Amino acid sequence: MSHPRFLPHLFLAAALGLGTLACEPGDSAARESHEHHEGDGHDHGDGASTDVHGQDERGFVILDPQHAAHPNWADVGDLELGDVATATVKLKNVEKTPITIQSVLSGCSCTVPSLSYVTESGERVEGDPTSTTEALVVPPGAVVELALRVDSQLSPARNKDKLVVVRMNTDSDFDPYVTIELRMKVVAAFQSVPPELDLRRIPRNGGGAGTLQIGAIGDSGRGLVRILDLPPGFDAALVEDPPMGNTPVWTLRVRVEPPLALGPGEKKIALATTGPGRDGEGRPYEVKVRWTAVEDVEIAPARMLFLRDGTLGREVAQTELFARLPGHLLAITSATIEGTGTDGLIVQLEPAPPVTDGRANRWRITVDPGAARQLGTVQGTIVLTTDDPAFPRFEIPIARK
């Protein structure tokens, strides 16, 4: 395996480090799987064995494994980014009583399991892989098909070997756990830095903008050509930069235009690519853009809680008022506090520079009990008024237990 050559940032070098990345359903599952392999006394070498996990005539026996010496291994091979593949593992109930598969857990969101078996009459019985108590009841002698569907687009690991651990929990008295190790390698011709464009919190009537770099990986000579598909309300430009050594690099500039619906948003921009050697057409490369649209003027955090201030040596509560549109200035004209335990609390207002005629783009609001006051339970509201007709009043909950 060769090292990727597009390393414009140190964290990308770490992200594309060589080796096998293991994704497991949880730390406890990982430890149990490790302990099972290290301490079960079974033969895990290249030689054949009839006493290996899943093949000891207890619970479930794996039929027709891809790897005879390691029957619980499955492999979907190399997947080009965007490919979808499925590996199916067949498990036979060799006990004389039904076995309930209580749950089936995948260690990566890129791999989705499903369960089913076919009755003697030819009817297919589907399980519920989302259940945590009874995903599927398997009769004696029935063969379960555990289908593992892999969506390479959802895999966080690119251009390295990846291992996804899938754990089945059952009520078998003899062998209650089945662990499947699914191997894959998602091959990506390009790498974005950062991996996706997060515009974070942007004003609903101002929109937001950002940039990311995209570099070619490997020696295929594939390139980015143009923006293929742009969501409505987006403006974007793709520019080829000077190469970094022998590696082609592009910059993608994106702007999300207002107005925006409040709350989180997510879209994908598709870029047209070439085939190897810059010939023909390749599979489109997608860049994810995320954001959270907020009011043009926002209180954050929205609720004030008392926390100890090391400098003052006492508890205070703080928040900030942000005018998120460029050049938007406003003045806080009054601040009052009311509610249980609020008597004697002092509300301090501090504008952040630059300040023009008492108006600022950002204000810090601090509630201070003062050095002499002992704080008890506080449950109240701070009411702010401003000189902005669009945002004349804010109510901020404040609390201390």
Indicate which CATH number applies to the domain containing 128.
2.60.40.10
Q: Domain boundary residue among 187, 208, 242?
A: 187
150 and 223 in a common domain: no
Total domains, the chain: 3
63 and 156 in a common domain: yes
143 and 19 in a common domain: yes
348 and 235 in a common domain: no
Of 229, 225, 207, the residue nearest 216 (C-alpha): 225
Q: Rounding to the nearest 10 degrees, give the CA dihedral for residues 261, 266, 271, 275.
A: -160
Mode of pairing for the β-strands spanning 247-256 and 234-244:
antiparallel
318 and 355 in a common domain: yes
Do the domain assignments include residue 98?
Answer: yes
302 and 276 in a common domain: no
User: What is the chain's pLDDT, residue by residue, as a tens digit (401 residues)?
Assistant: 444 434 444 333 343 344 556 676 754 433 343 344 333 433 333 333 344 455 566 899 999 999 999 999 999 999 999 899 999 999 999 999 999 999 999 999 999 999 999 999 999 999 999 999 999 999 999 999 999 999 999 998 889 999 999 999 999 999 999 999 999 999 999 999 999 999 999 999 999 999 999 999 988 789 999 999 999 999 999 999 999 998 999 999 999 999 999 999 999 999 999 998 889 999 999 999 999 999 999 999 999 999 999 888 899 999 999 999 999 999 999 999 999 999 989 999 999 999 999 999 999 999 999 876 788 999 999 999 999 999 999 999 999 98
161 and 209 in a common domain: no
* CATH code for the domain in which residue 265 is found: 2.60.40
Annotate 329-362 with b (16+ C-beta within 10 A) or e (fewer): bbbbeebebeeebbeebebebebeeeeeeebbbb
138 and 228 in a common domain: no
Q: Domain boundary residue among 244, 267, 289?
A: 289
In whole angstroms, what is the distance from residue 38 CA to residue 223 CA?
A: 46
360 and 284 in a common domain: no
Q: Domain boundary residue among 135, 164, 187?
A: 187
157 and 213 in a common domain: no
Task: Note whether 317 and 337 are within 8 A (CB).
Answer: no
pTM for the full predicted model:
0.71
219 and 270 in a common domain: yes
Residue range of the domain that includes 168: 10-187
Q: Which residues pair with 223 in a beta bridge?
A: none
Half-sphere exposure for 221 (CA within 13 Å, toward CB): 6
131 and 35 in a common domain: yes
Do the domain assignments include residue 112?
Answer: yes
